Structure 1
Amino acid sequence: MPICVFDVAGDGTTSVPNDTNLTGDGVYRWWHFDLADPMLVPWAEQHLHPIAGGALVQPKTRPRCDRFEGGLILNLRGINLNVGEDADEMISVRIYADEDVLVTVRRNKVFAIDAIRRLAEAGSAPPSTAEFLEHLITGLTDRVDQHVATIDERTDHYEIALEDKDTPMPRDLPDNRRAVIRLRRYLEPQRAALSKLSTLDLPMIPEAVALSLRELANRAAIDVEELDELQGRLISVQEEHDANIAQRQARHGYVLSLAAAIFLPLGFLTGLFGVNVAGMPGVDSPNAFAVLCLSMLGLSALMVILLKLVRWL
Structure 2
Amino acid sequence: MSSFESNDVDLICGYHIPVNGRATPIRMADVPEMLARTDGLLWLHFNLSSQRARHWIAGQEWLDEFVREVLLEGKDTRTRVESVDDGLLTVLSDIHYDLKYEPTDIGTLRLFVNARHLISCRRHPLKATDRLRRALDDGQQFDSTVELLADLVEYLSDTLDSVTHTLADEVDRTEDAILAERFQTGRATLGQVRRMVVHLRRHVAPQRQALGRVSHSNLPWADEDAMARMQNATGKLGDVLYDIEALQDRTKVLQDELSARMAEEQNRNLFLLSWVTVVFAPMTLISGIFGMNVAGLPGVSGHETAFWWVMALIVASGIGMWFLVKPRR
TM-score normalised according to structure 2 size? 0.75
Query: Counterpart in 2 of 1:117?
Result: 133
The whole-number CA distance in structure 2 between the counterparts of 1:120 and 1:249 is 59
Cα offset, 1:274, TM superposition: 4.3
1:185 aligned residue (202, 217, 232): 202
The whole-number CA distance in structure 2 between the counterparts of 1:273 and 1:89 is 69
Q: Matched residue of 1:48: which SS?
A: coil
Cα offset, 1:124, TM superposition: 4.0
Cα offset, 1:168, TM superposition: 1.8
Q: Which deviates more from structure 2 when the two are superposed, residues 221-230 or residues 95-104?
A: 221-230
Tell whether the 8 Å contact from 2:144 to 2:226 is kept in structure 1 after alignment: no
Tell whether the 8 Å contact from 2:204 to 2:241 is kept in structure 1 after alignment: yes
The whole-number CA distance in structure 2 between the counterparts of 1:63 and 1:262 is 65
Tell whether the 8 Å contact from 1:23 to 1:101 is kept in structure 2 after alignment: no
Tell whether the 8 Å contact from 1:33 to 1:106 is kept in structure 2 after alignment: yes
1:20 aligned residue (19, 25, 32): 32
1:215 aligned residue (232, 245, 256): 232
The whole-number CA distance in structure 1 between the counterparts of 2:211 and 2:153 is 9
Q: Which has the higher helix share?
A: 2
The whole-number CA distance in structure 1 between the counterparts of 2:131 and 2:279 is 73
Query: Counterpart in 2 of 1:195?
Result: 212
Tell whether the 8 Å contact from 1:7 to 1:26 is kept in structure 2 after alignment: no
Change (3 A) 1:234 1:19: closer
Cα offset, 1:212, TM superposition: 2.5
**Corresponding position: 1:227 with 2:236:** no
Cα offset, 1:77, TM superposition: 1.3
The whole-number CA distance in structure 1 between the counterparts of 2:291 and 2:126 is 80
Structure 2: runs of 5+ lacking an equivalent? 1-9, 296-329
2:48 aligned residue (32, 35, 41): 35
Query: Counterpart in 1 of 2:171?
Result: 155
Change (3 A) 1:153 1:88: farther
**Corresponding position: 1:269 with 2:286:** yes
1:49 aligned residue (47, 56, 64): 64
The whole-number CA distance in structure 1 between the counterparts of 2:136 and 2:242 is 35
Structure 1: runs of 5+ lacking an equivalent? 279-313
Query: Counterpart in 2 of 1:95?
Result: 111
Write out per-residue CA displacement over residues 255-312 of structure 1, whole angstroms, 9 at most, x where no aligned residue.
Answer: 222232232122222333345799xxxxxxxxxxxxxxxxxxxxxxxxxxxxxxxxxx
Q: Which deviates more from structure 2 when the two are superposed, residues 72-81 or residues 21-30?
A: 21-30
1:139 aligned residue (155, 159, 180): 155
**Number of aligned residues:** 277
TM-score normalised according to structure 1 size? 0.79
2:275 aligned residue (255, 258, 271): 258
Tell whether the 8 Å contact from 2:18 to 2:39 is kept in structure 1 after alignment: yes
